[in-house]
Amino acid sequence: MRFSALLLATVFAASAATPLKVRAEVDWKKEDAEVLKHFQNLVRMDTADPPGREQATADYLVKTMKDAGIDVQTFVKKEGRPNVVARLKGSGKKRPILIMAHQDTVNIDAAKWKEHAAHSADRAGGWIWGRGTIDDKDNVTSGLMTMLLLKREKIPLDRDVIFLAEVGEEGSSQFGIGYMVEEHFKDIEAEYCFAEGGNSLRVDGKMKYAAIQTTEKVPRAITMTATGISGHGSVPLETNAIAHMAKAVAAISEWQAPIHLNETTLSYFQKMAEISSPEEAAIYRAVLKPGTKEADDALTWLRKNQPSQASMLHTSVSPNMFNAGYRSNVIPSEAKVTLDVRVAPQEDSELTLTALRKVVNDPSITLEWAREGRASANSRLDTEAFKTIETIYRKHYDAPVIPIMATGGTDMASLRPKGMQCYGSSVAVDTEDLPKGFGMHSDQERVLESELYRFVHAQYEVFSTMAKAK
Ligand SMILES: [Zn+2]
């Protein structure tokens, strides 16, 4: 969508939906320069985790917001890793909203960033290049811009708007969201939270859908231990622990956990069926009849052809570590495998453990949990927040808006069990970019500059619509 059309649409929709006493919409032609400035500045800071060095971004966010007259604090569990919390006060008519974005990024292998250095924030070919451009400095920028604009435009608010730029999302959340929830929850408590996720997709340069993450799987792990008799490698034994373990791993890999749908995945596959080819649509409709052979066959097809869709349908199990043996002429007495288990929300994970023990069916092998589970929750699709996102995104993206379940994890997992309704979205990316290695966490992470602006505009409209006085 061109800029002027977008602006017109924004003005029209806001005035048609709710008569507001606040001044006209933001002049993005002017503000986009500031979006770019903050975004590039943030990408140019190395906030790799590990080791976790968010001090520079935290200082930047604090200074920028303080200079604008915004109330801002930091909460530090570990030296050099401040969580930033800013708040704009509302009338208290409604409960607060929380905008959340993580300051840290995954680390980099500098040698692999050949054309554009990882912290260059180069603008080239319509993209901006660098670590964090689509995870999660797009969200840090939209959160920051929202706070600045709401403050600058003096928009009266029905509720507090809280912005949390947390540390440690990429693997040390005990210093970030974990710490905030355990020790400073009242400083971030809100009715709704908004964070990363969603993965809105373009195909052939056109929007296919805008996705909103409304739930995620529960990460767990199982350790399998096979015990056998050790001995000289020249005398093979039937009790060989590696051989037993190999059979068990093969059986588990072929096993398929039953389909377990929830409100999000039900809606996701229904909506995907509406925008897919007839062949794919038939598969997506078939999986909505769990317990039938048709559904099982469709799941088998997805496991082979569209593994991420398959993972959304059930608890997944992936053997990701195999440790055994220490020299070629010794039969080891033990083999260990770690299974990455992603439990479908609200499914009893003990059922998976029991089922896997049955599948292995070998008295020389034990299976035990290696990682505790946590509570899971779906955010509802009938809330004011989801409906607001749906309306505003449909307008900005001119594409269907689809709720989605993340198979991986985000910091929202710590807030949903506390009763917050949480919704995740991120800047739109090209489907074609992912296999080419331009995706999230890749060595050539990049964002389309036009999509960055579109995302910030849409996010600002969502947040301001949710908060401004009506
Ligand atoms: Zn992220």
Per-residue pLDDT at 13 exceeds 70: no
Distance of CA 449 to the CA centre of its chain: 21
| 366-383 b/e (C-beta count within 10 Å ≥ 16 → b) | ebeeeeeeeebbbbebee
Same domain, residue pair 398 and 348: no
Boundary of a domain, candidates 336, 371, 406: 371
Report the pLDDT value the prediction gives residue 372, as an integer from 0 to 100: 86
pLDDT in tens, 97-147: 999 999 999 999 999 999 999 999 999 999 999 999 999 999 999 999 999
Same domain, residue pair 428 and 444: yes
For residue 424, report the distance from its CA to the centre of ligand 1, in Å.
10
Same domain, residue pair 222 and 341: yes
Least confident of 77-81, 247-251, 344-348, 365-369: 344-348
pLDDT in tens, 103-113: 999 999 999 99
Same domain, residue pair 27 and 176: yes
Per-residue pLDDT at 24 exceeds 60: no
For residue 149, report the distance from its CA to the centre of ligand 1, in Å.
24
Q: Assign 1 a pLDDT band (cuts: 50, 70, 90).
A: very low
Domain of 254? 218-371
For residue 11, report the distance from its CA to the centre of ligand 1, in Å.
31
Same domain, residue pair 200 and 226: no
pTM of the model: 0.90
Same domain, residue pair 392 and 255: no
Distances (CA, A) of 262 to 1, 76, 274, 286, 381: 34, 37, 19, 15, 11
Same domain, residue pair 180 and 226: no
For residue 357, report the distance from its CA to the centre of ligand 1, in Å.
34
Same domain, residue pair 295 and 232: yes
For residue 182, report the distance from its CA to the centre of ligand 1, in Å.
21
**CATH number of the domain where residue 233 is located:** 3.30.70.360
For residue 170, report the distance from its CA to the centre of ligand 1, in Å.
7
For residue 102, report the distance from its CA to the centre of ligand 1, in Å.
7
Boundary of a domain, candidates 371, 403, 422: 371
Domain count of the chain?
2
Same domain, residue pair 247 and 202: no
Same domain, residue pair 204 and 271: no
Boundary of a domain, candidates 371, 397, 422: 371
| 82-98 b/e (C-beta count within 10 Å ≥ 16 → b) | bbbbbbbebeeebebbb
Same domain, residue pair 178 and 61: yes
Mean pLDDT of the chain: 93
Same domain, residue pair 165 and 35: yes
**CATH number of the domain where residue 439 is located:** 3.40.630.10
